[in-house]
């Protein structure tokens, strides 16, 4: 029983670490995606302005 408790505690700490690192990765990915989206939006706007000028 005692061994199981130790195992579950270490497993939980590992799980917490995994969740933390995955959350960090997800946050980074979201930031990158938002940047790409903003770039695409600005490019589209500039294209639209160019076509309107022509």
Domain that holds residue 30: 23-54
Q: Is residue 6 a part of any domain in this protein?
A: no
The tokens for 6 are 């130790």
pLDDT, tens only, 18-43: 999 999 999 999 999 999 999 999 98
Q: How would residue 50 be classed by pLDDT, with cut points 50, 70 and 90?
A: confident
Mean pLDDT of the chain: 89
Give the model's pLDDT for residue 4: 74
Q: Is residue 16 a part of any domain in this protein?
A: no
How many other C-beta atoms lie within 10 A of the C-beta of residue 42?
10
Q: How far apart are the first and last CA of the chain?
A: 78
Give the model's pLDDT for residue 3: 79
Q: Is residue 4 a part of any domain in this protein?
A: no
- CA dist 33 and 44 (Å) reads 16
């Amino acid at each position: 029983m005692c061994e199981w408790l130790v195992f579950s505690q270490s497993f939980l700490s590992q799980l917490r670490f995994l969740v933390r690192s995955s959350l960090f990765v997800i946050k980074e990915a979201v930031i990158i995606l938002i940047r790409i989206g903003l770039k695409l939006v600005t490019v589209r706007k500039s294209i639209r302005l160019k076509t309107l000028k022509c």
